[in-house]
Amino acid sequence: MMQFTRSAPPLTSIHPNGLGLCLDDDASKHSLHRSWPWPWSGLLTSSKSLGRLNTASCMEQLLVHCANAIESNDATLAQQILWVLNNIAPPDGDSNQRLTSAFLRALIARASKTGSCKMLTAVAARADADLALHLHRFSAIDLASFIDLTPWHRFGYAAANAAIVEAVEGLPVVHIIDLSTTHCMQVPTLIDLLANRPEGPPFIRLTVPTFTTTATPPMLDMSYDELGSRLVNFARSRNVAMEFIMIPSDPSDAFDSLIEHLRVQRLVSEGEAVIVNCQMLLHYIPEETVGAIVSTMNVNSPIPSLRTMFLKALRSLEPTLVTLVDEDADFTACDVVGRLRSAFNYLWIPYDAVDTFLPKGSEQRRWYEAGLCWKIENVIAQEGLQRVERQEPKGRWGQRMRAAGFRSVGFTEEAAREVNSMLGEHAAGWGSKREDEDLMLTWKGHNVVFASAWMPS
C-alpha cells in the first residue's frame, strides 16, 4: 500500500509547465534523502533539459527508479517520475518512446493495484479505458495476415514444420497436438507440406486445447468448431484425411485434462506418431516462482513446478517429436525491477521492427502495439497466477527438456534454408543463426525467438 506522507503533495504540486516542482517542505526533504541516486533533480529545472532524457537508457533508468518508488510506497517520488516519463515518452512518439509509454502505463496499473493513491487510480482507470480495445478479436483471415507481418511466429512455424515433416517421414498416421497462441495458424502450411509428401499424405489427427481461464492476445473471433471445420475442409481440398479434436484444457493447470485425454488416446490407438508442437505457449504454464508465491507453506519441500510435471507428462506419451519455440527472454524474476529491465531490453525489438512494416496510424499497428501493451502490463503490473507471461530463456528450457528425458535433435540444413528463404521475404533486419542445436531468430543481431526440436532420449 502506498501511503502519503503527512504533508504529501497533492496533484497541485506537479506543475505541467515543467519548471520545477513545488514541493512543500516536508515532502521535498523526504524526497531529497533518497537512498539511490537521483541524477535528474537538477535537470528538471528546465524544460530544455528534458530533451537530454530522451534516450533509451535514460528512460530505462527512470522506469527503474519509478518501479523502485512504487515498491517502496513512495507515492511522491513515483508521481514525479511518472510525470517526467509522461512528458518524454508520448504514446505516439518514436519506437523508444512508445516502448517507454507502454511501460509507463504498466507501472501506473501496478501502482494503482498496490496503492491507495487516488491520482494514480484515476490515471489507471483512464489508461485501462484506452486499452479496453486491447484484445482485438481477429477473424481467421485477419489473423492469418497479421501473424505474417513479421517472422516472429512464422519463424517457429517454418522450423517446426520442417522438423515435423522429417520426423514423420513414411508414417501413416500422425497425431499433432498443437499448443500455440495463434489458433492453428501454423496448420495449413503443415497440411500443405504433408500433402506434398512423395509417399502421399498421412492421416492427420489434430488435437488442440481450448482454454478455459487463460486469455492472451491474439484473440480469435471464431469458435474452434468453425476453425476446425475449415481446417478439415482445407485438408480435404488437398486430399488429406484429417480429424480435428478440441479438448478444454488450460495452461494454468499444465493442461491436465489434455494430458489425460492423450494418455487414453495412446492406449487406444497404436501406431500413430505423436507430435507435440509448442509455439510460445509453454511460458504460460506457471513455474517455480509462482509456486513460491502461491503456497508459502511448503517452504522446505521443493515444490515441483507445473512446467516440470508437464514436460514429464509429455515424455510419458512417448512422442515422436516435440518442437519447442518460444521467446528468448527472462521474465521470471521475482522482483519487478528485474523483470522491468529484462522486458525493456527485449521488447524494444517488436517496437523497433514495427516501423519497417506497418505505417503509423494503421489499424494493424494499433492491434500489434496493443498486444505488446498487454504483455508489458502483464509482466509489470500483475503478480501471482494473473501474471502469465513467464518467459524463460532458451538455455533454461533446454535444461528442463533434458531433465524431463528429452534430447535435442537439431534442424537440418534444409530446414535452415527454408527458414532463411522465408526471412528473406521480410524486412532486412531479421536474421537467423544456429545456436547449439537450435535455430534462433534475430533482429539486427539480437536474439528474439528460439526454435528447438526434441525426441525422447
Partner 1 sequence: MIKGMLIHQHQLVDENMSNLTSASGEASVSSNHQSSFASPNPNPPKKKRNLPGNPDPDAEVIALSPKTLMATNRFACEICNKGFQRDQNLQLHRRGHNLPWKLKQRSSKEVRKKVYVCPEATCVHHEPSRALGDLTGIKKHFSRKHGEKKWKCDKCSKKYAVQSDWKAHSKICGTREYRCDCGTLFSRRDSFITHRAFCDALAEESARAMAANPFANHLFSQPTASCETSTMQVQSTILRSQFPHMMRANEANTSIVSGHGMQGELSPDREHQPRQFDMRSNIPPWLACQGPITTSLNHLDLPSSSSSVYSVRLQQEYSRENPPVHRPPIPPAFQPSASSPHMSATALLQKAAEMGATMSRPKHLGLTAAHATSSAVPPNNTASFALGLSSHQEMGNGTGGGDASGGRGGGVIGGFAQESSPPPLLLHDMVTPSLSSTPGFDGPFEDAFRGMLESKGEESNSSMGGFARSHRMVEEGGGGSGGNDGMTRDFLGLKPFPQRDILDLTGFDPCLSSPSYAQHRQSKKPCHGQLLPEM
In the complex with partner 1, the residue whose CB is nearer, 176 or 235, is: 235
Per CB under 8 A, the list member of 221, 226, 335, 414 interacting with partner 1 is 226
In the complex with partner 1, the residue whose CB is nearer, 166 or 192, is: 192
Binding mask 120-149 for partner 1 (x = CB under 8 A): --------------------xx--xx-xx-
Residue identified by cell 489434455 is: 258
Least distance CB 117 / partner 1 (angstroms)? 27
| Residue 205 · residue 272 · CB < 8 Å | yes
Q: Which helix (H) or strand (E) segment is 276 a member of? A: strand 273-279
Q: Which stretch binds partner 1 (CB under 8 A): 12-20, 24-32, 150-158, 274-282?
A: 150-158
The number of beta carbons lying within 10 Å of the beta carbon of residue 379 is 26
Helical H runs in 217-287?
224-237, 256-268
In the complex with partner 1, the residue whose CB is nearer, 3 or 57, is: 57
Whole-angstrom distance, CA of residue 63 vs CA of residue 66: 5
- Per CB under 8 A, 238 contacts partner 1: yes
In residues, how long is the chain? 457
Near partner 1 in 70-129, by CB under 8 A: 94-96
DSSP 8-state symbol, 55:
S
- Per CB under 8 A, 31 contacts partner 1: no
Binding mask 401-430 for partner 1 (x = CB under 8 A): -x-------------------x-xx--xx-
In the complex with partner 1, the residue whose CB is nearer, 1 or 267, is: 267
Least distance CB 44 / partner 1 (angstroms)? 21
In the complex with partner 1, the residue whose CB is nearer, 18 or 405, is: 405
Whole-angstrom distance, CA of residue 394 vs CA of residue 330: 9
In the complex with partner 1, the residue whose CB is nearer, 128 or 383, is: 383
Whole-angstrom distance, CA of residue 93 vs CA of residue 183: 32
In the complex with partner 1, the residue whose CB is nearer, 45 or 57, is: 57
Helical H runs in 131-170?
140-147, 151-167
Per CB under 8 A, the list member of 118, 126, 263, 407 interacting with partner 1 is 263
In the complex with partner 1, the residue whose CB is nearer, 3 or 399, is: 399
Span between the terminal Cα atoms of the chain, in Å: 50
414: cell is 534444409
- Per CB under 8 A, 398 contacts partner 1: yes
Near partner 1 in 299-328, by CB under 8 A: 301, 303-304, 306, 309, 312-313, 316, 328
Least distance CB 22 / partner 1 (angstroms)? 32
Residues 6 or more apart in contact with residue 84 via CB below 8 angstroms = 40, 44, 50, 53, 62
Q: How many residues in the shown chain lie near partner 1 by CB under 8 A?
A: 116
Q: How far is CA 74 from the centre of its chain?
A: 30
Q: DSSP letters along 314-334, please? A: HHHT--SEEEEEEE------S
229: cell is 471445420
